[in-house]
């Protein structure tokens, strides 16, 4: 038979890629604004017509492009921002995929005008549906202007899919707010159908927040400043009396990138504990700065999720910094501040000056080791892992108990390619009496194998265990529920409530019991066994955010998404220390899984290193 595989022509590939990058006019706005920022612009102008359906234009005074670069910028995977794969781990730019311009040009009419500072003349390029219509020398100011007209002109289905102008403009405004808030040192203006919606000069952060959210905002801002080895926090939280019924004023920026994190959001909520009325949400505008190496920016262009190396520690620092600010500015009664200084975490407050407390990490301090005086309890959140005795920890694994008692029997089901001849791959030293595992950087569980070494990623492994457990409950429809002493009342927006409603049956199969579920309130009277009450709102918020993030084209299976989302919320985080019993239990539970080697999101849960490989390293 003749060969049948062909490479897709570029314009088709670009159109497919465009589906991922460009979902609506707001996506174009985001990409163009980010390019302008990456070009070191200090003034950026956004011009929109008909909610972006007719025109999205961004004009910047950045560094511009050479004639060749201008043409190249529309090629797929053409980027000036990374040279090698390693660069991905220390990103200081917004873009890096080199896909945005190629994608946009595949599904719209694009005109690019650009000039570099040292040149007298610039370039204009016109591209329609990936086809270059013209490239000419032009007179144009230094910087770049990109106008995108007739979005989706060649994909009517997507064009029809766009919402009303009001809705699309709201998406654009949200995107604009995020970018403008993250970059107060850049001046922005924003015009819609000829009228001027925003015009903000270069300014400080407080001024920027006030410019965007209105003069009244000024009096409600409480500064939050904290600098530790791993994390710098700066920005504001809103005074509790100004809290809102919506979450419209909640902004986290990590290295100047807007992100959503139900988990870190919870850190703030818990810092406000006792200060907010039921159903109200704190406002916050917080900039977190971390080492770019310690985060994994989701490779997917439209997602706002980010993965931290050590989320657990960030949670503790963030919560404490916000609590401190609320206390210092006399908003909260001094709360449990004495308690705070011993903060149940591996941190020492070295410098206790009231103004800018600095936290330093004492890597040797392990609050959970037996010899630490007055054993402190778990930090912040309770996943049923740390503060609870092993018995409750185990309750998270109902249905997953190992059949045998020793590690050996569970592990015997695993076959590693390198080790087919052995019925048990564990070295003899894994007999109970000896310590067979240890934790590395509160992130990995290391164990020995007959053939070498096993390194498990605790977070990913636990996600796998929980995922299979939840999936089983959802499909078998037989979960056990634990009744809450006091029903839990939660409030969500109508859209969010709709998402929960759609998943209600599946949620009930995991063990949730709802007594009310309508747009006014959600009342929960029962939760899955092993899920602490304090986690419930995180789980639901994470779930909503996961559903919202799930793109229309992905194969949506509600049960799968729910199981993944709950596993993500409840899995122990990196940075959490585990006792030896907990470590061993984790190992056993992982290898009792159907698919132990990958996380629910298809990342490896463990790696092995054969003795041979170790030996080679010593040669």
Query: Where along the sequence are the contacts to Mg ion (CB under 5 A)?
Result: 35, 95, 100
Q: Residue from 23, 30, 51, 98 that binds ligand ADP (CB under 6 A)?
A: 98
Q: Residue 45: phi, psi to the nearest 5? A: -115, 130
Q: Which is nearer to Mg ion, 297 or 570 (CB)?
A: 297
Establish if 317 lies at the interface with ligand ADP (CB under 6 A).
no
Q: Give phi and psi for 215, each to the nearest 5.
A: -55, -35
535 binds, among Mg ion, ligand ADP, none (CB under 5 to 8 A by kind): none
Cα–Cα distance for residue pair 431/281, rounded to 1 Å: 51
Whole-angstrom distance, CA of residue 178 vs CA of residue 26: 12
546 binds, among ligand ADP, Mg ion, none (CB under 5 to 8 A by kind): none
Residue 97: other Cβ atoms inside 10 A: 21
Question: In 343-425, which ranges are continuous DSSP H helix?
Answer: 390-395, 407-411
| Cβ 161 to ligand ADP shortest distance, Å | 23
Confirm if 350 and 341 have CB atoms less than 8 A apart: no
Stretch that binds ligand ADP, among 72-80, 246-254, 511-519, 524-532 (CB under 6 A): 72-80
* Whole-angstrom distance, CA of residue 591 vs CA of residue 245: 45
Among residues 392, 367, 385, which one has the least CA distance to residue 377?
Answer: 367
3-state secondary structure of 311: helix
CA 211: distance to chain centroid? 27
Determine, following the binding rule CB under 6 A, whether residue 95 of this chain makes contact with ligand ADP.
yes
User: What's the angle, vertex CA 376, arms to CA 269 and CA 374, rounded to 5?
Assistant: 155
Nearer to ligand ADP, 99 or 311 (CB): 99
140 counts as binding ligand ADP under rule CB under 6 A: no
Residue 584 contacts ligand ADP per CB under 6 A: no
| Given 101, 180, 297, 314, the residue binding ligand ADP (CB under 6 A) | 101
Q: How far is the CB of 93 from ligand ADP (least distance, A)?
A: 7
Q: Which does 562 bind (CB under 5 to 8 A by kind): ligand ADP, Mg ion, none?
A: none
Rounded to whole angstroms, how far apart are CA atoms 514 and 544? 17
Q: Rule CB under 6 A: which of 414-433 touch ligand ADP?
A: none
User: Nearest approach, Cβ of 79 to Mg ion (angstroms)?
Assistant: 8
Distance CA 115, CA 122 (A): 4
Distance CA 140, CA 120 (A): 9
Among 11, 71, 81, 232, binds ligand ADP (CB under 6 A): 81
Residue 289 backbone phi and psi in degrees, to 5: -115, 125
Contact between 62 and ligand ADP per CB under 6 A: yes
Span 181-240, contacts to ligand ADP by CB under 6 A: none
CA–CA distances in Å: residue 169 to residues 24, 152, 176, 197, 422:
10, 17, 10, 11, 63
Residue least distant from ligand ADP (Cβ): 95
Cβ-contact 288, 230 below 8 angstroms: no
State in angstroms the smallest separation of the CB of 548 from ligand ADP.
Answer: 24
168 binds, among ligand ADP, Mg ion, none (CB under 5 to 8 A by kind): none
Closer residue to Mg ion, CB minimum distance, 35 or 447: 35
Q: Which residue among 42, 80, 340, 378 contacts ligand ADP (CB under 6 A)?
A: 80
* Residue with Cβ nearer ligand ADP (36 or 46): 36
Question: Across-strand partners of 295?
Answer: 308
Q: Is residue 36 close enough to count as binding ligand ADP by CB under 6 A? A: yes
**135 binds ligand ADP, rule: CB under 6 A:** no
604 CA to centre of own chain: 19
588 binds ligand ADP (CB under 6 A): no
Assigned token pair, 311: 């989320």
Answer for the pair 524, 490: CB distance below 8 angstroms, yes or no: yes
Nearer to ligand ADP, 60 or 468 (CB): 60
- Per CB under 6 A, 60 contacts ligand ADP: yes
Q: Which does 52 bind (CB under 5 to 8 A by kind): Mg ion, ligand ADP, none?
A: none
Of 50, 81, 257, nearest in space to 166 by CA: 50
Structural element, H or E, at residue 114: strand 109-115
Nearer to ligand ADP, 97 or 239 (CB): 97
Can residue 301 be called a binding residue for ligand ADP (CB under 6 A)? no
Under 8 Å between Cβ of 426 and 449? yes
Which residue in 18, 29, 39, 105 binds ligand ADP (CB under 6 A)? 39
Angle (CA) 401 404 410, round 5°: 80
**CB closer to ligand ADP out of 78 and 523:** 78
73 binds ligand ADP (CB under 6 A): yes
As measured in angstroms, the least distance from the Cβ of 189 to ligand ADP is 16
Residue closer to ligand ADP by CB (options 142, 395) is 142
Q: Interior CA angle at 549 toward 547 and 554, to 5°?
A: 80
> Binding to ligand ADP by residue 65, rule CB under 6 A?
yes
Residues that bind ligand ADP (CB under 6 A): 31, 35-36, 38-39, 60, 62-65, 73, 78-81, 95-102, 144
């Amino acid at each position: 038979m003749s060969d049948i595989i062909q490479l897709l022509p570029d314009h088709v590939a670009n159109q497919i890629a465009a589906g991922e990058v460009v979902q609506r006019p707001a996506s174009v706005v985001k990409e163009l604004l980010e390019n302008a920022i990456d070009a070191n612009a200090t003034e950026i102008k956004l011009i929109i017509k008909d909610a972006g359906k007719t025109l999205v234009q961004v004009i910047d005074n950045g560094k511009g492009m050479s004639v060749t670069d201008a043409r190249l910028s529309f090629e797929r995977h053409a980027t000036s921002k990374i040279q090698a794969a390693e660069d991905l781990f220390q990103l200081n730019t917004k873009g890096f995929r080199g896909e945005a311009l190629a994608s946009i040009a595949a599904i719209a009419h694009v005109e690019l005008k650009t000039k570099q500072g040292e040149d007298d003349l610039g370039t204009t390029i016109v591209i329609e549906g990936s086809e270059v219509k013209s490239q000419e020398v032009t007179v144009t100011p230094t910087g770049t202007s990109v106008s995108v007209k007739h979005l989706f002109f060649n994909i009517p289905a997507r064009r029809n899919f766009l919402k009303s102008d009001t809705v699309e403009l709201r998406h654009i405004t949200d995107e604009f707010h995020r970018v403008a808030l993250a970059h107060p040192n850049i001046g922005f203006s924003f015009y819609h159908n000829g009228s001027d919606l925003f015009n903000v000069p270069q300014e400080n952060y407080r001024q920027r927040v006030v410019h965007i959210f209105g003069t009244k905002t000024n009096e409600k801002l409480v500064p939050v400043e904290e600098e530790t080895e791993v994390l710098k926090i700066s920005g504001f939280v809103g005074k509790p009396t100004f809290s809102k019924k919506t979450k419209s004023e909640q902004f986290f920026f990590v290295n100047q990138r807007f992100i959503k994190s139900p988990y870190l959001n919870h850190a703030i909520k818990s810092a406000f504990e006792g200060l907010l009325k039921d159903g109200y949400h704190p406002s916050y505008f917080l900039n977190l700065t971390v080492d770019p190496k310690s985060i994994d920016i989701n490779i997917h262009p439209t997602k706002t999720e980010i993965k931290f190396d050590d989320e657990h520690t960030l949670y503790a620092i963030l919560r404490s910094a916000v609590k401190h600010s609320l206390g210092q500015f006399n908003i909260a009664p001094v709360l449990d501040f004495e308690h705070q200084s011993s903060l149940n975490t591996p941190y020492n407050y070295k410098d206790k000056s009231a103004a800018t407390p600095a936290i330093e990490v004492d890597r040797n301090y392990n609050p959970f080791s037996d010899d630490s005086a007055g054993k402190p309890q778990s930090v912040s959140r309770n996943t049923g892992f740390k503060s609870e005795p092993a018995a409750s920890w185990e309750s998270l694994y109902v249905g997953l108990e190992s059949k045998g008692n020793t590690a050996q029997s569970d592990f015997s089901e695993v076959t590693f390619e390198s080790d087919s001849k052995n019925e048990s791959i564990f070295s003899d030293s894994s007999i109970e009496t000896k310590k067979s595992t240890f934790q590395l950087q509160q992130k990995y569980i290391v164990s020995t194998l007959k053939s070498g070494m096993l390194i498990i990623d605790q977070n990913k492994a636990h996600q796998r265990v929980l995922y299979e457990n939840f999936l089983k409950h959802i499909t078998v429809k037989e979960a056990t529920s634990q009744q809450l002493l006091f029903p839990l009342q939660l409030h969500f927006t109508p859209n969010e409530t709709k998402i929960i409603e759609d998943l209600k049956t599946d949620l009930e199969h995991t063990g949730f019991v709802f007594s009310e579920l309508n747009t006014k309130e959600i009342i929960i009277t029962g939760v899955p066994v092993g899920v602490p009450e304090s986690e419930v709102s995180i789980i639901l918020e994470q779930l909503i955010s996961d559903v919202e993030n799930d793109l229309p084209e992905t194969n949506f299976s509600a049960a799968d998404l729910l199981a993944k989302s709950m596993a993500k919320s409840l899995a122990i985080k990196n940075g959490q220390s585990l006792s030896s019993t907990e470590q061993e239990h984790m190992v056993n539970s992982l290898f009792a899984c159907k698919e132990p080697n990958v996380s629910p999101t298809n990342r490896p849960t463990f790696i092995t290193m054969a003795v041979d490989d170790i030996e080679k390293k010593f040669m």
